[in-house]
Amino acid sequence: MKNLIVILATFFTVMTQAQISKENAIPQINVSGEGKIKVTPDIATITIGVENSGKDAATVKKLNDETIDKVIKYIKKNNIPQSDFQTAQVSLHKSYDYVKKKYNYVANQTLTVTLKDLKKYDEFMMGLTDTGITNINGVEFKSSKLAQYETEARKKAAGVAKQKAIDYTEALGQKVGKVLLITDNSNTYYPQPVFKAMRAEALSDNSPKETLAIGEIEITANVTIIFAVE
């Protein structure tokens, strides 16, 4: 009997607390906002690679080292500071050629170079090919003022979310209150550049050649905000 009384007392206590909590709950509105900033990139990160293969490990490594040495000297010759280029990956492995039915050694090395003057891009890339590199693995455009633009995008996203809340609450004859919760849903994304093919006639004369369309990059911020409703 005592157990039954305790259970009933607990049940009514929980129900009473739930009712009080429900009555004291703050009316809320949950809205999201997106802020976009389009900017012209002013720097490029270039990833280049060197690969050699052969039957002797020491030989292929030596060939790679000779080319990398030329690449680094060329980069320094273009007054690119040491902080703006680095080795990204080095590998040397044994590989089996199923066609020729023999083993080969393959040496790979990649470097990334940050070019802070895009006007020098074409000239710099042409010179790189003369060093003996075997791969251009990619070019990524960025902005040197990324943090500043991200701040602007966040403010814009918050403004969009607040305006949504105002629109909804005004339509219902109420007002937006204080912020209860902010959730940042942003993801950083760096789009790849769009390459332009050179025309045949452009290759036959001495006129300046344009091989890359820089375009714009889009910096986006997404936010979810919960406001109290008054």
Q: Which CATH class is domain 25-40+146-229?
A: alpha beta
- Cα 137 to chain centroid distance, Å, stands at 16
What would the pLDDT profile of 91-108 be if each residue is shown by its tens digit? Answer: 999 988 888 888 999 999
Neighbours of 152 (CB within 10 A): 17
Question: What are the residue ranges of CATH 3.30.110.170 in the chain?
Answer: 25-40+146-229
According to the per-residue pLDDT averaged within each range, which of 36-40, 52-56, 121-125, 162-166 is highest?
162-166
Split at pLDDT 50, 70, 90, the class of 9 is: very low
**3-class secondary-structure state, position 78:** coil
Residue 14 has pLDDT above 60, yes or no: no
Question: What are the residue ranges of CATH 3.30.70.2970 in the chain?
Answer: 43-142
Q: Which fold, 43-142? A: Alpha-Beta Plaits (3.30.70)
| pTM more than 0.85 | no
**3-class secondary-structure state, position 132:** coil
The proportion of the chain whose per-residue pLDDT surpasses 70, expressed as a percent, equals 79
Pick 6 or 184 by higher pLDDT.
Answer: 184
